[in-house]
Amino acid sequence: METKPTEISISKMFGGYNKRYKHYSPTLGCSMNFHIFFPPSSSPSHKFPVLYWLSGLTCTDENFIAKSGAQRAASSEGVALIVPDTSPRGLNVEGESDSWDFGVGAGFYLNATQEKWKNWKMYDYVVKELPTLLHENFPELDTSRASIFGHSMGGHGALTIYLKNLDKYKSVSAFAPIANPINCPWGLKAFTNYLGENKADWEEYDATCLVSKYNNVSATILIDQGEDDKFLKDQLLPQKFEEACRKINVPLLLRLQPGYDHSYFFIATFIDDHVRHHAQALNL
Amino acid sequence: METKPTEISISKMFGGYNKRYKHYSPTLGCSMNFHIFFPPSSSPSHKFPVLYWLSGLTCTDENFIAKSGAQRAASSEGVALIVPDTSPRGLNVEGESDSWDFGVGAGFYLNATQEKWKNWKMYDYVVKELPTLLHENFPELDTSRASIFGHSMGGHGALTIYLKNLDKYKSVSAFAPIANPINCPWGLKAFTNYLGENKADWEEYDATCLVSKYNNVSATILIDQGEDDKFLKDQLLPQKFEEACRKINVPLLLRLQPGYDHSYFFIATFIDDHVRHHAQALNL
């Protein structure tokens, strides 16, 4: 039950370091891994702002580190990347691994209210536990300067967490986010099981509903969406989010990228733009 | 037994396309997969030079495509990447999967002479079958302009294939190559099993031996080697290759990179330099 993070791997990249840590999470009630990419440091006293990446369904803390190539821009811009896992693991809740879009690897960055899934508190883990843990254990990080982005389920996570915590994050962006989960099969399945039948509770974790409530967004929201993404029409629904933003004049840059799909190849292609979007907001 | 390649996946990246193909290889006697990255094309009649990537132990044709980020520079330089698998697969030769450094995933880019491993003809597959297949099936590729690079076992493959075929490849480079396999455990195990006990035969697949024979190398050989690579001292032996090059004035740029290990994080960090090294030699 070691809550202090232990380094379990390290690998140099673009002059900085990918480091993987293991710790016991009191919020989730299990052991968790996360990655940090530390940019090269010019002086021991330098503090890096933090950019949280939230991954999509089935991912761990490893996919983004191995495939996105984000470390290149993070290194040149001087931003630390914080990459948590996507759900609690190893709890052996009955049925937790029965499907790839629910349970393990599919925490949806919310706080479950249903007894069976009571450990699924990824919202609190990302918004509360992780920043405190980083602040207490990594003096080279300035957690007061934070931004957040993600992909698919993690794009949903980034948008909702940002909108509910405008004081905590300087900027948000997303790749192919699940933008209106209460109206898509992935969201219906997850929200019914994690949150129960009361749809008013669901709206607290739906970016399209939330953006209508929080009209004090000032930083432009950046979203990239591949036009050949097979999940675009049924699951992602970025146009619903776009409509909601337009209605209340929330600044949104939604870029539809012809020919791109839902994969990390799409993410890698546009990751530099996203890292720079955040670096600018973080006053670098 | 379809020798013509069939496209089995496609994904857009950096304006070009990663495409995966399956075909029956008469050389190897089994079905094989390979990847091509096609850069964005300015006109239908444009032909791209080809840059072969040879992967290391345990890899398939997928690792480099997913993790190297080479497509960025390949796209901007206008070079097609050709990424074959690392051995025959699915032949069910007894013991072929007993170890990670021999058999499946460990073809060592040679032509085995021992009866049991008669299908292990990765040298002929890369040097003969693949270029012909590309020439016959992909009019957008100019296979007469070719270069070659690789990692670890694939760095060994690139160096040996280049040295034995100076007329076929414009340039070579390698990341952490097995530079003197006849003097390291990986090489001893592979060469004994694939080639038998006659050490004179082994020298035909050892870059350090070969470079002493072929003194008409004119293009600079580029090698990057991480100083924290755990295989450096016992398996890779780049200093042996360096000595051999120095003796006969073969131009070699061996860059020792402090802090880097043997992983794709190391490769991704320096991949642009390698792609540009080849683009220059390919007269782009």
DSSP per-residue codes, A79-145: -EEEEE-SS--S---TTTTSBTTBBTTB-TTSB--SGGGTT-BHHHIIIIIHHHHHHHH-TTEEEEE
**pLDDT tens digit sequence for A104-132:** 999 999 999 999 999 999 999 999 999 99
pLDDT tens, A178-233?
Answer: 999 999 999 999 999 999 999 999 999 999 999 998 778 889 999 999 999 999 99
Look up residue A200 and give its two tokens: 């008013």
Whole-model pTM: value is: 0.96
Q: What's residue A213's pLDDT?
A: 86
CA distance B176 to A186: 44
Query: Do A269 and B228 make contact, defined as CB atoms within 8 angstroms?
Result: no
Is residue B49 within 8 A of residue B146, CB to CB? The reply is yes
User: What is the nearest CA distance from B14 to chain A, expressed in angstroms?
Assistant: 5
Count of Cβ atoms closer than 10 Å to residue A266 Cβ: 24
Question: Nearest 10 degrees: CA dihedral of B39, B84, B149, B14?
Answer: 20
Query: Hey, what amino acid is at B95?
Result: G
Chain A residues in contact with B275 by the CB 8 A cut-off are none
The ipTM value here is 0.95
Average pLDDT on A171-184 reads 98
CA B19 to CA B10: how far, in whole Å? 4
Hey, what's the torsion of the CAs at A46, A47, A52, A53, to 10 degrees? 10
Which residues of chain A lie closer than 8 angstroms to B264, CB-CB? 66
pLDDT classification of A30: cutoffs 50, 70, 90: very high
| Element (DSSP H or E) covering residue B184 | none
Q: Closest chain B residue to A270 measured between Cα atoms?
A: B14
**pLDDT of B154:** 98
Between strands A48-54 and A30-38, the pairing is unpaired
Tokens 């955040």 appear where? A278
pLDDT score of A3: 82
Residues of B in contact with A66 (CB under 8 A): 66-67, 264
pLDDT of residue A284: 60
The string of pLDDT tens digits covering residues A46-80 is: 999 999 999 999 999 999 999 999 999 999 999 99
Per-residue confidence (pLDDT) for residue B130, from 0 to 100: 98
**pLDDT surpasses 80 at A2:** no
Does pLDDT of A1 surpass 80?
no
Sequence-ordered list of residues with C-beta below 8 angstroms from that of B21, at least 6 positions apart, any chain: B5, B6, B7, B8, B33, B34, B35, B36
**What's the average model confidence in pLDDT over A28-38?**
98
- Identify which has the larger pLDDT, A283 or A85: A85
Percent of chain A with pLDDT over 90: 94
Q: Of residues A25, A68, A147, A152, which has the active-site annotation?
A: A152
Question: What residues in chain B have per-residue pLDDT under 50?
Answer: none
- Residue A199 host element (H or E): helix A199-202
